[in-house]
Structure formats: C-alpha cells, structure tokens
C-alpha cells in the first residue's frame, strides 16, 4: 500500500476575498467558509478567528484540532465514513496544508473533555498549536440537552470543523505539492529477506473507546470504537484520516484528530523500517470499562502480535485512570508472550509528583515513557480569551473548578484541562526527572 502526502508549507493564514494558497500564505474567504459550517442546522452561531504564535490569546473550551487535507486520488475523502462515504484510506494521494491547523472552540459550553491553550506567554510551548498559526472556528449550537452535562458529544462543532478543514484544503487539490512524503509498506510476506531479518516491531494504539453510549468514542472509518475488537491495520490508514477523535477523556490525555493523522510515532517507525526494524503495522486496540472486556481485548491483541511475528511493540494509551488497567495488562501480556514492549502514556502523580503514576502497576512494565503529569499545577496570567474562560470553572472541565478564575481574568488550573497537552501521539516535549 502506497500513500503520498502532498505538502504545502503554510507560513501564515489571512482572510481575503477567495480561499487560496500561494507563496506560503493560506487565504481564507471568511463568509464562504462559514457557509460550510452553518450547513448544520444545530449550529446557531459561528465566527472565524486567526491566531499566531506569540499572540497573548487564550482559547477555551477547545473541542478538537483538525489538519487541512483533501483526498486527490485513491479514496473517497479526507475522513472516510465520517465526512464522506466509506472508502479505503491509506493509498493514492492526499494534499495537506502543512504547519497550520483548525481549532474548534465552543462559544460557551464546555465539559471535562474540553481544553484550554495559550498562544503566548509561559505556557505557549506546552502544546504544538502554540507554535503554529491556527484558524479558529468559534461556534455555538442548539444541542441544549448537552449544555449542563459534564460529558458532551459536541457533534455539531466537531463535524463542522471536519467539513471546514476539508473544504478549505480543496484550494490545493489541483496544485503540485511543494514536498511529497511517501509511505509505502509492502505486505508482510512480500518483504525482502534483509528486512525480514530485522526485529519485527508493531505499534499498539489504544484510542479512547470506554463509553458504552454511542457518539463519544474515537471513530474508526466512522464506526464507534467501543463496538470493535483489536484489529491489525496498515499504518497508512491512520495517516490518511481513518481515525476521528472522540469527545471523551480529560483534555490533556486526549489525542486530537490532527494528531491521529500526523502521528509522529508512526512516522518514526517508518523512518527506521528496513534500517533497524521491520515495521509490521498497527494493532488498533480498545479501552474498555469492564474487566472481562479488558482481558478479552488484551488476549486478542496479543495473538495478533504473535501471528505477525512481532518481537517488540510500542504501546500508546490515550487517557489515564481506568484505562491504565488496559494499558498495563497489554504490556504484561505482550511481555509474557516474549514480545519486548515500551509503553507511552501520561501519568497522574498528584501536584507534588509523589503519588502512584498509574492506577495499575506491574514489575513487567519496566520500559515506560511518560508524556506528562495530568495533575501539574499552573498559575496563568490574564490575557485575551477566544471562547469563554468561565467554561473552565463552570462546566466541569477536568482541569478547573469553581473559584479557579480570578476577578482580573487570571486563573489557576491543572494540566488535566490543557488541550491535548501531553501529546501521547509522540509530539510531547515533556519528561520525568529524578532528583
């Protein structure tokens, strides 16, 4: 399977009379773009803003981040099964506007799955979005039944962002990319003997799929991940938009749609394929609420790894708390089967860093990478807000609480509420120090 990602290197975003790309500048026709968002009858109000690195701007409550991308050949659309008919991802060519993103922000109502980020100041570099220009969709909806719920589907805003990102990317559909990344991974049996002789490595991704009710979990080709068993997938499928982020889990522990489709860990494994490893593919696993479901999932994933000849695995967990049980069990099972594992997750060690980092621990899990502490405490100065800062205190954002916002607009919060800040996808810049 061969996938080409055609890149257009965006230096800046501006508003103008026609949506277009030229010389590193993405121009967005504001009114035309908003028409796409307002196609959803549940969108009651929508605006577009542009933010740049260093702007003293705070965004809250953030629902998702999406890369601007469009399918040029070899598939149905940028997010098959979600914004387009079901079709095969991972082959042909997809054009992307590289180095920028679309951020979806609620005008008022948030929840514990929604986040906050700063474009400037001390916390600018705590997320990847603080270092890139972003188009910001700020919208409100008539999904009134969700407004006072801590857990929200955020369907209208999230789908509006997906449609808008794909619509804007159409401006480069017929253009020749400035740079093309090629991802080609032959079937296991078709690889040359030199590659087969290298250690076989599989990437085990555990996206958030714990909600038994539909509409909250990570989507796989539009299918709710809670309804799946572990599945072997080609890494190109992920890089080509087969996963859409859900609306569940405290924000810093989430993997955004942007990160699913630009996954740096997959790209790093690709870089080493044929050199130091034989990259076998992705086992897309699940996170489950019940112990029997956890055991079943781990058992099936383990047998897939054995069947494809895995000698080593990288396991990435989206979330923490209850999912730590699935995560640890996966690591232990793979080790039991003779597969060397490295785990990637964040941790919950308390504000003082002294608490047990994972709910479930085991001596077999002796190669763990931390991407951050969800309980890390922040003191944040006042700055301009896009959205509504009060959502941090009022609506159950997992990083905020009643009284966390001061009269002058400054606030305190836990890392729990910083949008996808722990970057479990592999973007994280954080580490754990012993001293």
- Note the pLDDT of residue 435: 57
Share of the chain above pLDDT 90, in %: 91
Q: What distance in Å separates the CA atoms of residue 231 and residue 285, rounded to the nearest whole number? A: 6
Number of H helices and number of E strands within the chain? 9, 24
| C-beta of residue 34 within 8 angstroms of C-beta of residue 44 | no
Strands annotated E in 99-213: 101-106, 115-118, 134-141, 179-184, 200-206
| Averaged confidence pLDDT in the chain | 95
Query: Residues 311-350: pLDDT tens digits?
Result: 999 999 999 999 999 999 999 999 999 999 999 999 999 9
Q: Is residue 34 over pLDDT 60?
A: yes
Q: How confident is the model at residue 432 (pLDDT cuts 50, 70, 90)?
A: low
Q: How confident is the model at residue 274 (pLDDT cuts 50, 70, 90)?
A: very high
Query: Residues 200-252: pLDDT tens digits?
Result: 999 999 999 999 999 999 999 999 999 999 999 999 999 999 999 999 889 99
Residue 220 vs residues 153, 280, 285: alpha-carbon distances, Å: 16, 20, 11
Query: Residues 50-87: pLDDT tens digits?
Result: 999 999 999 999 999 999 999 999 998 999 999 999 99
Alpha helices for 308-422 (secondary structure H):
323-336, 390-394
- Note the pLDDT of residue 343: 97
Query: In degrees rounded to 5, what are phi and psi of residue 12?
Result: -160, 160
Average of per-residue pLDDT across 94-115: 95
Q: How confident is the model at residue 109 (pLDDT cuts 50, 70, 90)?
A: confident
Q: 306 versus 398: which is more confidently predicted? A: 306
- Note the pLDDT of residue 318: 97
- Note the pLDDT of residue 431: 65
Which DSSP string corresponds to 223-260? EEGGG---EEE-HHHHHTT-EE--S-S-GGG---HHHH
Query: Residues 373-384: pLDDT tens digits?
Result: 999 999 999 999
Using alpha carbons, select from 371, 369, 379, 372 the residue that is nearest to residue 409: 379
Q: Is residue 124 over pLDDT 80?
A: yes
- Note the pLDDT of residue 61: 96
Q: Is residue 160 over pLDDT 90?
A: yes
């Amino acid at each position: 399977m061969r996938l080409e990602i055609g890149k257009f290197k965006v230096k800046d975003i501006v508003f103008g009379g026609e949506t277009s790309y030229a010389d590193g500048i993405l121009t967005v026709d504001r009114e035309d773009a908003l028409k796409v968002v307002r196609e959803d009858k549940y969108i009651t109000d929508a605006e577009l803003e542009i933010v740049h690195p260093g702007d003293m701007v705070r965004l809250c409550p953030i629902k998702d981040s999406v890369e601007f991308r469009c399918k040029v050949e070899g598939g149905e659309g940028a997010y098959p099964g979600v914004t387009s008919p079901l079709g095969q991802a991972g082959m042909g060519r997809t054009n992307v506007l590289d180095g920028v993103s679309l951020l979806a922000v609620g005008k008022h109502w948030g929840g514990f799955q929604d986040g906050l980020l700063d474009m400037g100041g001390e916390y600018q570099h705590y997320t990847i979005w603080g270092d890139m220009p972003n188009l910001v969709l700020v919208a409100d909806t008539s999904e009134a039944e969700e407004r006072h719920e801590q857990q929200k589907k955020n369907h209208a805003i999230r789908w509006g962002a997906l449609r808008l990102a794909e619509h804007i990317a159409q401006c480069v559909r017929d253009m020749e990319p400035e740079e093309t990344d090629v991802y080609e991974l032959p079937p296991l049996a078709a690889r040359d003997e030199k590659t087969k002789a290298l250690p076989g490595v599989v990437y085990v991704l555990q996206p958030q799929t714990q909600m038994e009710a539909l509409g909250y979990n990570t989507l796989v080709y539009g299918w709710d991940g809670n309804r799946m068993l572990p599945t072997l997938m080609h890494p190109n499928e992920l890089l080509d938009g087969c996963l859409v982020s859900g609306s569940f889990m405290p924000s810093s522990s989430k993997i955004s749609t942007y990160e699913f489709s630009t996954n740096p860990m997959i790209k790093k494994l690709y870089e080493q394929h044929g050199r130091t490893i034989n990259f076998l593919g992705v086992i897309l696993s699940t996170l489950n609420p019940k112990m029997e479901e956890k055991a079943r999932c781990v058992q099936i994933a383990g047998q897939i790894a054995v069947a494809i000849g895995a000698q080593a695995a990288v396991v990435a967990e989206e979330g923490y708390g209850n999912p730590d049980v699935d995560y640890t069990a996966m690591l232990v099972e793979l080790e039991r089967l003779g597969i060397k594992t490295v785990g990637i997750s964040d941790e919950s060690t308390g504000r003082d860093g002294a608490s047990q980092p994972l709910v479930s621990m085991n001596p077999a899990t002796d190669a763990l990478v931390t991407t951050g502490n969800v309980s890390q405490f922040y003191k944040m100065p006042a700055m301009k807000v896009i959205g509504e800062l009060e959502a941090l205190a009022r609506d159950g954002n997992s990083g905020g609480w009643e009284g966390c916002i001061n009269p002058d607009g400054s606030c305190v919060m836990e890392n729990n509420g910083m949008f996808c800040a722990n970057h479990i996808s592999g973007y994280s810049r954080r580490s754990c120090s012993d001293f």
